[in-house]
Amino acid sequence: QVQLVQSGAEVKKPGASVKVSCKASGYSFPSYYVHWVRQAPGQGLEWMGIIDPTGGSTTYAQNFQGRLTMTRDTSTSTVYMELSSLRSEDTAVYYCARYWGSWSAFDVWGQGTVVTVSS
């Protein structure tokens, strides 16, 4: 079935970087853009950015400019989200989501990856 499977929980120190993976299966990987969304504890959903799995082009939210990098590996149908210079406010659950372009919606979501930033 169509699914996105994310890598496991991470604990990082302030100033470090984290790289989360999102492996797609059950559909044509190049045909759907992938977005990343995060959710801080007890908070709402925050859009982070988007990657085109075909060409690798990206767009990032203004809040993350300079700290966020999204990449993809077409041979394994996997996209990656790397966030650098981590601070305590980056503690959150990070989700990848498939973009259903025909109707402009996020129709399939990964299970989420908990990233904890603590000294």
Partner 1 sequence: DIQMTQSPSSLSASVGDRVTITCRASQSISSYLNWYQQKPGKAPKLLIYAASSLQSGVPSTFSGSGSGTTFTLTITSLQPEDFATYYCQQTYSTPVYTFGQGTKLDIK
Q: What are residue 105's phi and psi, to 5 degrees?
A: -145, 160
Of the candidate residues 8, 41, 44, 66, the single one contacting partner 1 (CB under 8 A): 44
Q: What are residue 29's phi and psi, to 5 degrees?
A: -55, -45
15 binds partner 1 (CB under 8 A): no
CA dist., res. 91 & res. 114, Å (int): 8
Token digits for 68? 């966020």
The burial class, CB within 10 Å (0-12 / 13-18 / 19+), for 65 is: exposed
5 binds partner 1 (CB under 8 A): no
- Complex with partner 1: residue 110 or 117, whichever CB lies closer: 110
Min CB(115)–partner 1 separation in Å: 15
- Complex with partner 1: residue 63 or 118, whichever CB lies closer: 63
68 binds partner 1 (CB under 8 A): no
72 binds partner 1 (CB under 8 A): no
Give the residues across from 58 on adjacent strands. Answer: 51
Q: By CB under 8 A, name the binding residues for partner 1.
A: 33, 35, 37, 44-47, 50, 59, 61-62, 95, 97, 100, 103-107, 109-112
